[in-house]
A and B are shown apart, each in its own frame.
Chain A
Amino acid sequence: GEQVEQLPSSLIVQEGASVLINCSYTDSASVYFPWYKQEPGKRLQFIIDIRSNMERKQNQRLTLLFDKKTKHLSLHITATQPGDSAIYFCSARNMGYKLTFGTGTSLLVDP
């Protein structure tokens, strides 16, 4: 089945810095890649997504890059703020119901 891996597992940055979170998947049938943010003790919150027919998507300070050939995604967060501190999850979905999550990247932004 699909496997999704994320790197790094954790990050600590100073406020204002940029961060890059990498994600790779194995199933070429995956067509949709939503990303979620989970603040401590809170529910997963959708932040950005991309479809397999796209290469790039931006939402304010978030930019998501997708390389179908290498089965690789990158989430770039610019001008980080303390409120960005959370665990970020990459996920992959095929045409059915199944959403497979990565192991998460814990981001801590120091003010």
Chain B
Amino acid sequence: EAAVTQSPRSKVAVTGGKVTLSCHQTNNHDYMYWYRQDTGHGLRLIHYSYVADSTEKGDIPDGYKASRPSQENFSLILELASLSQTAVYFCASSAQRGAYAEQFFGPGTRLTVL
């Protein structure tokens, strides 16, 4: 089974601070994704990447940056954390872009911004 890990698993940040969430996959997948989960909204796509050193915007990219330094690693960066960014963040990976490619999810990072 695909192995996607995230760190940290939980974090408390202060408003205006910088936060970096990390994701690592060991499955040789080209595609990686960052989602946030809020109660009542399901999961929403923030950024994704299909190759190292390149990232693309998803549906809700405002306030977030992403970095893909290697095929295995994908980071989500909140330069100036805000209260509204309190959520659970999930990373996922898939082997290919095609419509039928299964996405494998990490365990999530619970971020609380105070």
Contact = CB atoms under 8 A, between A and B. Distances in A.
Bound together: yes
A85 to B, nearest CB: 17
B109 to A, nearest CB: 11
Contact of B50 (A31, A49, A97): A97
B107 A96 contact: no
Interface of B: 4, 31, 33, 35, 40-45, 48, 50, 58-59, 90, 92, 97-100, 102-108
B99 A101 contact: no
Contacts of B35: 101
Nearest to B96: A97
A1 B40 CA distance: 18
Contacts of A31: 99
A95 B105 contact: no
Contacts of B41: 103
A68 interface: no
